[in-house]
Amino acid sequence: MFYIDSVNNNKIAVYDLNPEGKKTIFLVHGWPLSHKMFEYQVNVLVDYGYRVITMDLRGFGNSDATAAGYDYDTLATDLYYVIYYMGLCDITLVGFSMGGAIATRYMTLYKGYGVSKLCLWGAAVPSFTKTENNPYGVTIEYVNDLINQVYRDRPKLNKDFGNMLFATNVSEPLRNWFLDISNSASSVGEIGTAISLRDEDLYNELHRICVPTGIFHGEKDKVCNFGFAKIMHREIPNSRLFAFPNAGHAAFYDELDNFNKAFLGFIRK
């Protein structure tokens, strides 16, 4: 692990595995997790000879927690600082859930600098909440309740939310592992990004994505409805939809083998 200074000298924790790998895969985690969530993809990617870079978003994992800066523009700028200062190019950018929203904003705010392919996993795109263009979103009241729970009992919120990730019967130790990752987040980061999930809308940006895009989504997703994937596929040019019928929000684990096979197939082409 090392740190890269971003906006206002905020330190972003970065992890670089297999720097001499044949191609770079850059993974951006979701709410309220950290880089650790990608363990069951990172091992496979390294085995196949890829360079794998992950980061902790500000306020999460080992990155600095700041009082502000949890809007998508700032989070995308943190991502830009990492990509720019590491001199990365021809990367496959992967974003899960909220990380998918941040990756989408990066593609429009920075014109996809350094990115040759985009992968959106259970992405909170085009919006997490219900809008005119996304009837599948959750209510604003639902997100406000999540925020209130952070103020009152964050560990319970994280446990309850974590249980919504899966559509299959995963082991209790695995659920506890995800809970530990969630509890490592700062409360200020968890609240600030929840506000962004509530308020930000990417719909009008989707047509501006100009790289091949893989949309990976569980059909039983209770966090970001599968309808999100249909909208992304319709609005993003040159996109391909990978649906996982037995998976929830964490399709990357619910259908682990099928998911990794599909993901590897997409990034190889």
Nearest to 30 by CA among 249, 258, 222: 249
> So what's the pLDDT on residue 30?
98
Token pair 């972003």 is found at: 12
- What's 6's domain CATH number? 3.40.50.1820
pLDDT tens for the 269 residues of the chain, in order: 999 999 888 999 999 999 999 899 999 999 999 999 999 999 999 999 999 999 999 999 999 999 999 999 999 999 999 999 999 999 999 999 999 999 999 999 999 999 999 999 999 999 999 999 999 999 999 999 999 999 999 999 999 999 999 999 999 999 999 999 999 999 999 999 999 999 999 999 999 999 999 999 999 999 999 999 999 999 999 999 999 999 999 999 999 999 999 999 999 97
Q: What is the pLDDT of residue 269?
A: 79
Residue 64 structure tokens: 């600095």
Catalytic positions are 97, 221, 249
Chain mean position to CA 100: 4
- Cα maximum dimension of the chain: 47
- C-alpha–C-alpha distance, residues 265 and 94, integer Å: 14
Q: How many domains does the chain have?
A: 1
Single-letter amino acid code for the residue at 72 = Y
Q: What is the domain range of residue 83?
A: 2-268
What integer pLDDT is reported at residue 178 of this predicted model?
97
Global pTM value: 0.98
Strands 24-28, 239-244: pairing is: unpaired
Q: Extract the tokens encoding 233.
A: 């596929």
pLDDT attached to residue 157: 98
Measured CA to CA, the distance from residue 217 to residue 240 in angstroms comes to: 11
- Smallest CA-to-CA distance from 129 within 115, 146, 116, 113 is with 146
CB 35 within 8 A of CB 27: yes
User: What are 17's strand-pairing partners?
Assistant: 52
Q: What is the pLDDT of residue 267?
A: 97
Amino acid occupying residue 198: R
Contact 3, 30 (CB under 8 A): no
Write the CB contacts of 104 (distance below 8 Å, at least 6 apart in sequence). Answer: 95, 118, 120, 123, 125, 202, 205, 206, 209
User: How many of the other CB atoms lie within 10 Å of CB of 121?
Assistant: 29
